[in-house]
Chains A and B, each alone.
Chain A
Amino acid sequence: MEWASWSDFWSMGGYGAYVWGSYGVTALCILIEVVLLRRSAGETRRRLRRMRQWDLSTSGESQ
């Protein structure tokens, strides 16, 4: 084990800001991508379902 204590771990030999800045932004990017993806997947399905219902109702009227 390289680290004597947690504070040692967080300070990263004095380079904490750089290391955690890198990992933090990467994690944030991935988080944003996953959240956006989940939202858009749900939205696509909802929209397609709405369109489908609209299709069904209009074709029902004309027949």
Chain B
Amino acid sequence: MGRFLLAVLRRDLTLAARRRGDWLIAQFFFVMVASLFPLGVGPEPNMLARIGPGVLWVAATLASLLSLSRLFSDDHHDGSLEHMVLSPEPTVLLVLGKSLAHWLIYGIPLLLIAPVLGIQFNLSWEAIFILEISLLLGTPILSLLGGVGAALTLGLRGGGVLLTLLILPLYIPALIFGAGAVDGVVAGTGAQAHLSLLGAFLVLSLMIAPWIAAAALRVSLE
């Protein structure tokens, strides 16, 4: 079981390393969306600090969605997805492995870029620290729930847009708790409660999303 999970991870990481272009696009997208906001709402530092947490979280959500439509579709296209589903190992593990790989490839870089953007938004060091923790807890949720959407929309016309439509509503709790934690620091009310709830939502997603995504994958391959 461990070997299987590791094989899925290593495979997806190797493939991502061979195709750095796709990977870079998602990160640039994150930076660009976040950079558009100060241009749209004006450069007033206090206001930027107010909206910063929310903007960065929304941008992270969208950047994660951008890459999700290809979570299964590339493998579906060349037939390797069928081979993976026909493996004696459980499909849930496959989905878990692929979501985890997606998080490592697309989620972790967001964590590395976010502090820089945080400075752009005039966030304090403490707020940036909490932003990092909230992204650390929150981005895996995006990958896990996104796996459900990617599995449901596998091989459909306009699957990418549909995926966004299906999955964004499910992201709302993560967005509220994640941005709220940073907001709490900015407003001086503390972040701990938000982070605990974000953690609870992560555990819940971890327990439920892979099963539903695995079921959806089997349905889509039928």
Q: Tell whether any CB of A sits under 8 Å from a CB of B in the complex.
A: no
